[in-house]
Each structure stands twice: as structure tokens, then as C-alpha cells.
């Protein structure tokens, strides 16, 4: 089993190494016009980060993904389709426009996620954030959809397994929309524990709590749907009382966060009620889990469509991933207890509302 030796201060590898921020100018060349998933998301985040000296993160340019990395998740026919659509400037659907610069942006988004994995599992950094676009968690192995062309986090997880000898990877997806593409990529394998907290019923229509994966992967998909209006107590309760205990039993070698910020109360596309500090609290749970298990943790940008809320929430997460701190604890409510009962078909949990 792959394991990084922790430094005595609770960090990883070299205790003085800085966390990493991966970016690429091609993210701004993915022209979606007035679409909610637009370049202004990156511009707002990086303007805020530059005012605070990038929170101490070392800024690196995200490389392009190799075909080998992409083909570990997507068939050749999908790569060909993305290239053809981008060359023609023909969107996949109303939600997924593309243009001449979209292919380069998508390659660097997937490649940045892989470079983050390389840095974490190579001991270069204690944590990191890949803030590129387009996002990825809706891209199914053979279908671009939901603003997404390549399944960035899934590609990064496969890269960890294939290139670094990791045996198990945890993906925590806290985007407000279910990560159907990531789920599809790992539906039938026990190598990846995929935990998704998402608004339900909602786009893309997947993610029912009863869906726990299939075949050898049954039990390794944790779908944790919440209703519109759900706030910090519900989201934190699910992380604290379900995701973290299951993850401890799973014992991953790497933790990846599909970091969407569209569960923020100001987001125009969803109906949950999180604040920027809510993402810090969830990230503190991730940091504590990572430290306890000796498994590095990093995040990859997904959604978040109010630019001010996105910037504030992402920075709160970045500070918590790098600095840790005590997460807010909550008592499990009825929703958490009900979902714990569902997850309890496959994992031992002691949750009572």
C-alpha cells in the first residue's frame, strides 16, 4: 500500500514546502459567451488571490493532459468527438458550448489535475488546488455534458492508481450537482470511493441514495442527496458522520475533492444555503482525515457561478486545506441518520439522530 511518511508537525514530506495552485491561461480562452460557466469565474478568483499574496500557495502552470491519461477514462471516440466539436465551434448541447480555444483549455484542466496528483504523491507539496476550466465531473466516459468536456477528477484518480501505485482513492464531490461523470467512471470498481453531496431532485437527475455502485464496486458509491434549502448543518453532518467514518474504513492513499462552490446561498443556479465558511469547515474535515491517514489531499475546481461567492468560498477552502484548524462539529439530524441507514447496508456507522 502506498503511504507518505508524515512530518512530525502533521504535514507531508518536506515540512517547509508550499501548497500548490495550478492554473493555465488557456482557461480564459474557453469562450462560452454569457454562459454561467465563463472566464470571469477564474478572473474573479485570481484577482482576489493576488490581493492576498495567493494565500502562500506556489503558482504553477498546469500542463496538458496526455492521450494516455485521457484514455484511462474516455474511449478514443470521445477524444475524437471533443476535438471535432471544438474545431468546428459546435457545442455538444445548450449547456456545453465550445469554441476554438476550448480543446486547449480542457486538456490543461485535465492535465492540471494530474499534475496536482504528481505533486502530492511525489511529496512535493502538502496540498494543492487546480483552478482551471472547463470543469469535469459531469463528463461521462463517452459523453460531454453539463459544461464539462473531460472528467478531470476521474482522470486524475486513474493517474494516481496507474502511475503512482496508489491502491485506493477517495473522491469527495461537494458540488451542488451530482457528479454523474465521476460516478460512471468508477461505478464498478472498489479502487475509488466516490462520495457525492448534492441537491436532489436536481440536474443531472442522477445520484439517488439507493445507487451504491454495481458489481465489485457496490458500496463504493456514496450518494448523499439533500433537499433545496439545505444549509451548513446538513452538509457538515454528512461529511462528519458519514463521509469521514467510511473514508477511515476505506483507508485511501489519496483524497481528491471535486470542489464546486455552487451550494453557496448566493449561487444563481441552485438552492442550497452554504456560506464561504461552510467550505472551510468541510475542508478542515478533509485536512484532519488526510493528516490522520497519511494520505495527501488536493482539490480540483468544479462549479460556482456567483463570482464573489466563488472567490470567497474557494479561498476559505484553500486556507483550511493548507492550515487545518478545528472543523465545526454538528449533531446528526434526521436527514443524516436516514442516509447513514442507507450507507449502513455496506459500511458500519453508529449514527443516531
Write the DSSP assignment of 224-261 as a string of letters. Answer: EEE-TT--HHHHHHHIIIIIHHHHHHH--SEEEEEE--
Mean pLDDT to the nearest integer, 105-110: 99
Indicate the average pLDDT of the chain.
95
Predicted local confidence at residue 333, as pLDDT: 92
Predicted local confidence at residue 14, as pLDDT: 42
Q: How many CB atoms lie within 10 A of CB 226?
A: 22
Mean pLDDT to the nearest integer, 51-66: 98
6-20, 149-163, 310-324: least confidently modelled range: 6-20
Q: What angle do CA 132, 136, 139 make, to 5 degrees?
A: 155
Task: Count how many residues are written for the chain.
Answer: 353
Q: What is the C-alpha separation between 315 and 161, in angstroms, rounded? A: 29
Q: Is 138 a catalytic site residue?
A: yes
Which cell goes with 339?
442516509
Residue 352: pLDDT band (50, 70, 90) is: low
Predicted local confidence at residue 353, as pLDDT: 54
Strands 127-130 and 58-61, bridge-based pairing = unpaired
Residue 9: pLDDT band (50, 70, 90) is: very low
Mean pLDDT to the nearest integer, 275-280: 98
Predicted local confidence at residue 127, as pLDDT: 98
Check which CATH number belongs to the domain holding 74 and give it. Answer: 3.40.800.20
Residue 160 has pLDDT above 80, yes or no: yes
Which cell goes with 216?
465489485
Residue 130 has pLDDT above 90, yes or no: yes
Q: Is residue 293 part of a domain?
A: yes
Provide the domain count of the chain. 1
Alpha-carbon dihedral sign for residues 294, 296, 302, 305: positive
Predicted local confidence at residue 16, as pLDDT: 67
Predicted local confidence at residue 324, as pLDDT: 87
Predicted local confidence at residue 350, as pLDDT: 76
Residue 6 has pLDDT above 60, yes or no: no
Predicted local confidence at residue 129, as pLDDT: 99
Residue 12 has pLDDT above 60, yes or no: no
Predicted local confidence at residue 10, as pLDDT: 39
Q: What is the C-alpha separation between 298 and 256, in angstroms, rounded? A: 5
Q: What angle do CA 245, 249, 251 make, to 5 degrees?
A: 110
Residue 2: pLDDT band (50, 70, 90) is: very low
Residue 283 has pLDDT above 70, yes or no: yes
Q: Is residue 192 part of a domain?
A: yes
Mean pLDDT to the nearest integer, 7-28: 72
Residue 5 has pLDDT above 50, yes or no: no
Q: Is residue 131 part of a domain?
A: yes
Q: Is residue 223 part of a domain?
A: yes
Q: Is residue 10 part of a domain?
A: no
Q: What is the C-alpha separation between 108 and 106, in angstroms, rounded? A: 5
User: What are phi and psi for residue 258, nearest 5 degrees?
Assistant: -80, 95
φ/ψ region of 171 (left if φ > 0, alpha if ψ in -120 to 50, else beta) reads: beta
Mean pLDDT to the nearest integer, 146-165: 98
Residue 13: pLDDT band (50, 70, 90) is: very low
Q: Which residue has the higher pLDDT, 109 or 353?
A: 109
Q: Is residue 351 part of a domain?
A: no
Q: Give the residue numbers spanning the domain of 190.
A: 20-343
Predicted local confidence at residue 18, as pLDDT: 97
Q: Is residue 276 part of a domain?
A: yes
Q: Is residue 352 part of a domain?
A: no
How do residues 330-344 score in pLDDT, each as one tens digit?
999 999 999 999 999
Q: Which of 74, 78, 138, 281 is catalytic?
A: 138
Predicted local confidence at residue 251, as pLDDT: 98
Mean pLDDT to the nearest integer, 160-175: 98
Q: How far is CA 86 from the centre of its chain?
A: 25
Alpha-carbon dihedral sign for residues 251, 70, 298, 351: negative
pTM over 0.75: yes
Across the beta sheet with 192-199, the strand order is: 58-61, 20-23, 127-130, 297-301, 254-259, 169-173, 192-199, 221-226
How do residues 204-258 score in pLDDT, each as one tens digit?
999 999 999 999 999 999 999 999 999 999 999 999 999 999 999 999 999 999 9
Q: What is the C-alpha separation between 334 and 319, in angstroms, rounded? A: 31
Mean pLDDT to the nearest integer, 110-125: 98
Q: What is the C-alpha separation between 33 and 210, in angstroms, rounded? A: 38
Amino acid at each position: 500500500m502506498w503511504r507518505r511518511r508524515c512530518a512530525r508537525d502533521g504535514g507531508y514530506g518536506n515540512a517547509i514546502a508550499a501548497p500548490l495552485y495550478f492554473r493555465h491561461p488557456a482557461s480564459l480562452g474557453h469562450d462560452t459567451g454569457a454562459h454561467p460557466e465563463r472566464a470571469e469565474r477564474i478572473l474573479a478568483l485570481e484577482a482576489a488571490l493576488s490581493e492576498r499574496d495567493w494565500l502562500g500557495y506556489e503558482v504553477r502552470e498546469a500542463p496538458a493532459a496526455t492521450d494516455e491519461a485521457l484514455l484511462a477514462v474516455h474511449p478514443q471516440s470521445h477524444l475524437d468527438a471533443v476535438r471535432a466539436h471544438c474545431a468546428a465551434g459546435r457545442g455538444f448541447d445548450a449547456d456545453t458550448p465550445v469554441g476554438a480555444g476550448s480543446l486547449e483549455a480542457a486538456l490543461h484542466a485535465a492535465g492540471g489535475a494530474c499534475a496536482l496528483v504528481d505533486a502530492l504523491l511525489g511529496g512535493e507539496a502538502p496540498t494543492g488546488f487546480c483552478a482551471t476550466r472547463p470543469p469535469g465531473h459531469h463528463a461521462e466516459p463517452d459523453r460531454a455534458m453539463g459544461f464539462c468536456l473531460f472528467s478531470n477528477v476521474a482522470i486524475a484518480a486513474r493517474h494516481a492508481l496507474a502511475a503512482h501505485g496508489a491502491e485506493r482513492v477517495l473522491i469527495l464531490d461537494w458540488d451542488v450537482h451530482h457528479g454523474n461523470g465521476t460516478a460512471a467512471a468508477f461505478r464498478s470498481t472498489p479502487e475509488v470511493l466516490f462520495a457525492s453531496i448534492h441537491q436532489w431532485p436536481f440536474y443531472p437527475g442522477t445520484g439517488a441514495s439507493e445507487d451504491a455502485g454495481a458489481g465489485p464496486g457496490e458500496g463504493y458509491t456514496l450518494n448523499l442527496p439533500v433537499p433545496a434549502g439545505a444549509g451548513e448543518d446538513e452538509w457538515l453532518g454528512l461529511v462528519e458522520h458519514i463521509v469521514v467514518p467510511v473514508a477511515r474504513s476505506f483507508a485511501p492513499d489519496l483524497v481528491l475533492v471535486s470542489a464546486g462552490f455552487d451550494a453557496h446561498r448566493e449561487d444563481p443556479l441552485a438552492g442550497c444555503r452554504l456560506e464561504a465558511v461552510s467550505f472551510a469547515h468541510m475542508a478542515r474535515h478533509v485536512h484532519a482525515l488526510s493528516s490522520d491517514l497519511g494520505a495527501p489531499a488536493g482539490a480540483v475546481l468544479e462549479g460556482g457561478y456567483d463570482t464573489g461567492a466563488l472567490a470567497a468560498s474557494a479561498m476559505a477552502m484553500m486556507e483550511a486545506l493548507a492550515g487545518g484548524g478545528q472543523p465545526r462539529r454538528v449533531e446528526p439530524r434526521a436527514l443524516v441518520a436516514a442516509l447513514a441507514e442507507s450507507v449502513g447496508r455496506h459500511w458500519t456507522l453508529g449514527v443516531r439522530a
